[in-house]
Amino acid sequence: DQQVKQNSPSLSVQEGRISILNCDYTNSMFDYFLWYKKYPAEGPTFLISISSIKDKNEDGRFTVFLNKSAKHLSLHIVPSQPGDSAVYFCAASEGQGAQKLVFGQGTRLTINP
Amino acid sequence: GAGVSQTPSNKVTEKGKYVELRCDPISGHTALYWYRQSLGQGPEFLIYFQGTGAADDSGLPNDRFFAVRPEGSVSTLKIQRTERGDSAVYLCASSLLPDQPQHFGDGTRLSIL
């Protein structure tokens, strides 16, 4: 039972363009969402988060959008840079103070020069 | 270093053996988490410590898995009678407080032959 799903295993984007990574969830109790970025042989690195009381959160080139009715969130990266090439994981929890993160399978983003 | 440190980085052992995986969290972080990541999947929650006590061990797959954090800092994940299906990357994370983003180490790659 995959409660957090990232249906695109991979995505290729031209440098300078927008990258859009998508994530769907099924558990209606989830109300806090995070995106992590992972390089090979390294642990995931926290990027950005959003609480269910918001529908958008922005941090520099990274913006996360949340559509609660559709149980869908997305991460926008603009402009995309070669260093953004990595695996991106969406994660969710029941409450910001909840400790158990449920992760999606990840999307491998490749930025082409 | 300033980040979460996990040792060893790689561990190869035979089926049936006992293994211990160590995690040094970021100094001052009260919350510590263990996750397991299988190939092509996102991290899967195992256990969460707040201080010395295991506040949530609902993700431990069976009683062969056990974790301790006796002084509220370093944690050890212990696996008895290892099986080939235990092969995975074991990730440790810590956070300053439970409602703060989790910071991950680079993991221990465990291979059971």
Contact A45 B41 (CB under 8 A): no
Query: Considering only CB atoms, which chain B residues are within 8 Å of A97?
Result: 98-99
Is B4 an 8 Å CB contact of chain A?
A: yes
The answer to whether the CB of A101 falls within 8 A of the CB of B102 is yes
Contact A99 B55 (CB under 8 A): yes
Q: What pLDDT does A97 receive? A: 65
Q: Where are the alpha helices (DSSP H) in B1-113?
A: none
- For residue B68, list its beta bridge partners: B76
Residue of B22, B3, B16, B50 lying closest to A46 (CA atoms) = B3
Assess whether pLDDT exceeds 60 at residue B57. yes
User: What is d(CA B96, CA B36) in angstroms, rounded to the nearest whole number?
Assistant: 21
Query: Considering only CB atoms, which chain A residues are within 8 Å of B91?
Result: 43-44
Query: Considering only CB atoms, which chain A residues are within 8 Å of B31?
Result: 99
Q: What pLDDT does A82 receive? A: 96
Instruction: Express as a percent the part of chain B with pLDDT over 70.
Output: 99
Query: Considering only CB atoms, which chain A residues are within 8 Å of B50?
Result: 99
User: What is d(CA A15, CA A17) in angstroms, rounded to the nearest whole number?
Assistant: 6
Q: What is the mean pLDDT of residues B19-31?
A: 95
Is A1 an 8 Å CB contact of chain B?
A: no
Which regions of chain A are under pLDDT 50? none
Using only C-alpha atoms, what is the Rg of chain A? 13
Contact B42 A34 (CB under 8 A): no
Provide the shortest C-alpha distance from residue A68 to chain B (in Å). Answer: 21
Q: What is the mean pLDDT of residues B36-51?
A: 94
Assess whether pLDDT exceeds 60 at residue B1. no
Contact A103 B103 (CB under 8 A): no
What are the tens digits of pLDDT across the range B64-108?
999 999 998 999 999 999 999 999 999 999 998 877 889 999 999
Is A101 an 8 Å CB contact of chain B?
A: yes
Is A43 an 8 Å CB contact of chain B?
A: yes
